Chain A
């Protein structure tokens, strides 16, 4: 049932990560992803892993909830990595069938890429698990503020996001109700060929569309009546504030950046013998 989908997969808890300013978390995630791609040593990835696990621990979200986010796209990730095994060049030839050549460097790179992508997905999951969609929108609006100077209507954009978030649960409820009502009248959404199934959706989509339009019209009236005008200058009640925790996060980011860059530069010097297996070429 649609009702069972916990929207936005937010995991309610009171933790250090939950309390961080959404802007901090957004910027942290962006930096983290960039650094994952800057890193070209396993030492760097190890540092990335430590930061990631520390974040999971600090967020009090069960580790398997974070892992679950990877499960859905695991096949895709594995496939992408596998392609690299076949098409990545190198010096140490391991096997050869016709035009397909497998190099050691290719295998190392594929493993590396796989870890990179898994970390990326897990880090993004931590953001959505610890941040409500509402504060994510607030954070985004605040980060996009500079766009106002090139006449991009940031507040209209934020309002659209906010209204969408507000109506998603309502429309999901409504969809559920309509599905049930049509099922009670014998509609069958689970069997039949492709065309039949597409046609079976019509009795759900049309009432849903009509309802959404009706709601939109009523909402527009209500917004008008509450003095809304996109042209006028508005104020904003909610102000985001950075706290001490955000400073800690900034420090972690600094360590991450410095660490990964240092590893990139000095990887060979740390343990020359392991270099071919640790450094990505």
Chain B
């Protein structure tokens, strides 16, 4: 098709423009005859140019919507219409896909080419668009998502957010009228999530595209004109994002949780401080300032400096890392420095957070702790480098974990690995055995082949129970028949079954919905209390670290940027932002209050902040 034809085709649709971009008329769908409805009696109309967000827990049927719209699935009952076309009709489905593009969850699994521009070209090539026009579309699409300088890059070297923006560009190059994002931000770090939502907002406001944003992050739903809530395949609520947030506790019955800001407002309301609904940290700060002004309360705590948290070293399982450096693909043209001299001490009994965005070196760092990456001196083939006269010997890296010296060639690696348990990102993807029992006992049998059948069974039973699963019900099942959340619990059980003293988890809550996240963090606290001595989590979610950790360090460009208790660490908001990191919501509220002349002792947990605020506001009232 030439560009003129393309233009005339668009005008043709515009002339006979149906009122709705898409509509569902009493639609039902099941994946198998005996399984419950994935979508049930759904009626929904979306106007052209509207921005609708679809909220729902994992498994609420929200992703099925996207597949029904683009004809990847066909409705069992009812009718789906996309710009007047029927996606279940074989002769129309091609046209539907030309007008409604989908961006999927995993950025890696939707790219076909190893060069960015080739991948963006894929859609128009399929449509038989002529060469020069494809070139223009690539220019435009990459510019719209702000990735034009990466045109000749390869996707493997891009961050998650950048990859997902390329995926959006790939859909834009088809020139659709509707763009559907099917949990497109679920696998991204906060920075990537911001990049993607910014692009989506722009597409809606500036390009006038109809946007369907499927997500379980309530914060993202804020961008939309209208939010709808799905629960077990049914549409249970719809309205402006504000109206949805006002539903409060009702959201929990739909397995959605109130966003952090709602939790704080709710908590304050219980303490007698009633504020108007608000969606952002600044508006909440405004509300509090107004509340104080109306009642003549002046809050001005003297410059507050929280005490240095005392860290008690000298425990049996302290970790000490000295000058750790690491280079990937050494001696090749692709050599990259992952770590540039890390010094870090973690005491026994801490709930420690390691923060940093993708590529900061944090995963490389933790893999040293159980010698998945060995120090150079510990390698079998290592020989001391011969020094020329007068040459300084290079500074060596050292790691000590409890009684283990990781720079020693004779360190008992197996025992080390059974004492330092490590849960990788998306651990459920590493399940392999025929039954849950076999999978969980895998590590135990490797580390302690001498155990009797009864002892193994006892250990497996205990670890499954501590992660909140029922042994009798689940042990003989195939791990692949479980739900996503259950799989992750089984995978964690498979690590803790050896009773490690130190448990390291890389992004334990990645990809979970808010409820799942909360449950996993609760589980980690249980493990920290009853099961392991030290828990270390690698995370890019600042709220998660602020709420849960006793101490945290920020890794940036392979170095420790700062290491402190959250209350002290997150005060350095400006510096963290300059590293491209975010700060927790609580810090944002404190900053907002500070700008409005209200100075309080900022506590980084939501609950702590509410107590401080309540105390300050009521004390100020007494003074007045």
Contacts and interface: CB of A to CB of B under 8 A. Distances in A.
A166 B109 contact: no
Interface string B68-108: 00101000000000000000000000100110011011101
Given A207-B432, A226-B170, A239-B131, A234 B125 contact: yes
A184 B495 contact: yes
Interface in B93-133: 94, 97-98, 101-102, 104-106, 108-115, 117-118, 121-131
Nearest to B121: A237
A153 interface: no
Interface string A124-148: 0000000001100000000000000
B113 A162 contact: yes
**Interchain residue pairs A-B with the least CB separation, the first 6:** A186-B446, A185-B443, A222-B110, A237-B121, A206-B432, A218-B109
A166 B113 contact: yes
A227 B330 CA distance: 42
Given A188-B446, A226-B174, A237 B135 contact: yes
B334 interface: yes
Interface stretch (A19-27, A29-37, A173-181, A242-250): A173-181
Nearest to A236: B125
Interface string A1-14: 00110100001100
A228 interface: yes
Interface string A210-226: 11000100110111111
Contacts of B332: 4, 6
B157 to A, nearest CB: 10
A218 B427 contact: no
A234 B1 CA distance: 11
Contacts of A219: 109-110, 112
Contacts of A163: 112
Given A6-B333, A218-B110, A227 B370 contact: no
B619 to A, nearest CB: 51
> Which of B126, B443, B495 has the most chain A CB atoms closer than 10 A to its own CB?
B126
B128 A225 contact: no
18 contacts: A4-B328, A162-B112, A170-B108, A170-B156, A181-B424, A183-B372, A184-B372, A211-B429, A218-B109, A219-B109, A219-B112, A222-B109, A225-B70, A227-B126, A235-B128, A237-B117, A237-B121, A238-B121
Contact of A183 (B134, B334, B417, B425): B417
A6 B329 contact: yes
A171 to B, nearest CB: 10
Contacts of B174: 226-227
B430 A182 contact: yes
A226 B176 CA distance: 10
A207 to B, nearest CB: 5
A211 B480 CA distance: 12
A213 to B, nearest CB: 11
Contacts of B442: 182, 185, 187, 203
> Which of B104, B112, B115, B329 has the most chain A CB atoms closer than 10 A to its own CB?
B112
A115 interface: no
Contacts of A207: 429-432
Interface of B: 67, 70, 72, 94, 97-98, 101-102, 104-106, 108-115, 117-118, 121-131, 134-135, 138, 155-156, 170-171, 174, 328-330, 332-334, 367, 370, 372, 414, 417-418, 421-422, 424-425, 427, 429-433, 442-443, 446-447, 480, 494-495, 498
Interface of A: 3-4, 6, 11-12, 133-134, 159, 162-163, 165-166, 169-170, 174, 177-178, 180-188, 202-204, 206-207, 210-211, 215, 218-219, 221-229, 232-239
A235 B115 CA distance: 17
Nearest to A184: B422
A180 B112 contact: no
A235 B134 contact: yes
Contacts of B125: 234-237
B424 A180 contact: yes
A164 B454 CA distance: 47
A180 B424 CA distance: 9
Given A224-B97, A225-B97, A181 B427 contact: yes
A49 to B, nearest CB: 27
B122 A226 contact: yes
A261 B170 CA distance: 52
Contacts of B118: 134, 162, 237-238
B424 A218 contact: no
Contacts of A228: 122, 126
B135 A227 contact: no
Contacts of A185: 417, 442-443, 446, 494-495
Contact of A186 (B115, B156, B418): B418
B114 A165 contact: yes
A186 B112 contact: no
Nearest to A222: B110
Contact of B102 (A203, A225, A232, A234): A225
A67 to B, nearest CB: 16
A21 B94 CA distance: 36
A115 B331 CA distance: 29
Contacts of A229: 94, 126
Given A184-B495, A185-B443, A188-B446, A234 B367 contact: no
A136 to B, nearest CB: 11
A134 to B, nearest CB: 5
Contacts of B121: 237-238
A182 B122 CA distance: 37
A219 B443 CA distance: 33
A233 B433 CA distance: 45
A221 B123 contact: no
Nearest to A162: B113
Nearest to A176: B372
A185 B433 CA distance: 14
Nearest to A170: B108
A281 B109 CA distance: 57
Given A218-B109, A219-B109, A202 B432 contact: yes
Contacts of A222: 102, 104, 109-110
B79 to A, nearest CB: 20
Contacts of B370: 184
A232 B126 contact: yes
A166 B110 CA distance: 11
Contact of B114 (A133, A177, A227, A236): A133
A205 to B, nearest CB: 8
A187 B101 contact: no
A11 B334 CA distance: 9
A180 B367 contact: yes
Contacts of A188: 414, 446
Nearest to B418: A186
Given A134-B113, A224-B97, A235-B129, 7 more contacts: A6-B329, A166-B112, A185-B446, A207-B430, A218-B105, A218-B110, A225-B102
A4 B338 CA distance: 13
A206 B122 CA distance: 31
Contacts of B333: 6, 11-12
B156 A227 contact: no
Contact of B171 (A133, A210, A226): A226
A210 B421 contact: no
> Which of A178, A183, A229 has the most chain B CB atoms closer than 10 A to its own CB?
A183
A233 B128 contact: yes
Contact of B328 (A3, A169, A211, A218): A3
